[in-house]
Amino acid sequence: MTMWDAVELRQLRAFLAVAEELHFGRAADRLRISQSRVSQLVSTLETIVGEPLFDRNSRRVALTPAGELLRRRVQPAYADLRRAVLDLREASEGVRGELRLGVLLATSGGHLLGEIIRLFESRHPASSVTVVELAWQEPLGPLRRGEVDLTAIRFPIRQPDLTVGPVLATDSRVLAVADDHPLASRRSVSVEDLAGETLAFTPNIPPEIIEDFLPRTTPSGRPIARRPVANPLELLMLVARRELVHATIASLPDYVSHPGVTFVPIADLPPSHAGLVWRTEGETVAIRAFARAARDVVGDRPDTARATPHLRPA
């Protein structure tokens, strides 16, 4: 028996999970097995290859040079193998059953979500889509627990266990302010105008989204304060009372509005994208089919980008 004959796919799967998470506990949660089982699989693989793959102590886990080399070589091959199995399964079984789509605010699904769902269901009559509203307090928790199959959320998303799929909507940036706020009468504002203001944010949103939406300083280096809020209703109420302002997207008032709030374009921030993500290990033929439907609907619709917000009439 050669060394290769002794390697099992589950050992490589455990190794890749730890290599991405750099944490045995999180890798175990992701694989839905015990931490001791993950350690056993990795240790067996290390015995087979004859070298340690991780440097680990009570404070940190890091890849060794051998581990980094194995990760670079194995990861693409493992992804190709998964895709091959899914392709064969799709060809033999087709797409059927319920697909659960979690949506973090309707703005993350965009104006074309209904059309995407109709296209998917027309292509796959044995399957249906159930849309689940997700809470701000735990936007990715239902996805990781398997309560939904994929999630529509604002980008960017940089999570090692998640696959980032197609864009669903693109929006220009706006600032939500009270009707009587000094900035409310402006045709547009810049990030520099936010010095001295307090921006709203939701603590449990992935940090990469927060950093993309809420600059900590202006271009000249002046600080921009932040204040946590619990939900969209509280946020807009605080905006209307001039206790804070909110950097958001131009389509927000299409879905959520509040008396006394005006939306002013932010001239010097790039457009914001929202799209689909799913657990890499939980990818199914149905998820791939829904992603294809999204690309087919959105791909030739450049007008999904909203350039002008709904401003309060002058």
Q: Are residues 235 and 168 in the same domain?
A: yes
Structure confidence at residue 57 (pLDDT): 80
Structure confidence at residue 56 (pLDDT): 86
In degrees and rounded to multiples of 5, residue 54 shows phi and psi of -135, 145
Specify the CATH number for the domain of residue 99: 3.40.190.290
Q: Are residues 87 and 135 in the same domain?
A: no
Structure confidence at residue 174 (pLDDT): 95
Q: Are residues 102 and 231 in the same domain?
A: yes
Q: Are residues 150 and 45 in the same domain?
A: no
Strands 305-306 and 162-171 come out as parallel
CA distances from 270 to 36, 71, 105 (A): 45, 34, 21
Q: In a structure prediction context, what are the per-residue pLDDT tens digits for the chain, which is 314 residues long?
A: 566 667 788 888 888 888 888 888 888 888 888 889 988 888 888 888 888 999 888 788 899 999 889 888 888 888 888 777 777 766 656 678 899 999 988 899 999 999 999 999 999 998 999 999 998 888 999 999 999 999 999 999 998 889 999 999 999 999 999 999 999 999 999 999 999 899 988 888 898 998 888 888 999 999 999 999 988 888 999 999 999 999 999 999 888 888 999 999 999 999 999 999 999 888 888 999 999 999 999 986 654 444 444 444 33
Could you count the other beta carbons within 10 Å of the beta carbon of residue 253?
Answer: 21
Q: Range of 130's domain?
A: 94-314
Q: Are residues 306 and 235 in the same domain?
A: yes
Structure confidence at residue 4 (pLDDT): 63
Strands 54-56 and 61-63 come out as antiparallel
Domain tally, the chain: 2
Q: What angle do CA 121, 125, 127 make, to 5 degrees?
A: 70
Name the strand (E) or helix (H) holding 109: helix 106-109
Give the pTM: 0.72
All residues at 6 or more sequence positions from 252 whose CB lies less than 8 Å from its CB, including other chains: 107, 174, 176, 263
Specify the CATH number for the domain of residue 23: 1.10.10.10
Structure confidence at residue 22 (pLDDT): 87
Contact 100, 132 (CB under 8 A): yes
Q: Are residues 18 and 32 in the same domain?
A: yes
Q: Are residues 144 and 210 in the same domain?
A: yes
Q: Are residues 224 and 305 in the same domain?
A: yes
* DSSP symbol at 212: H
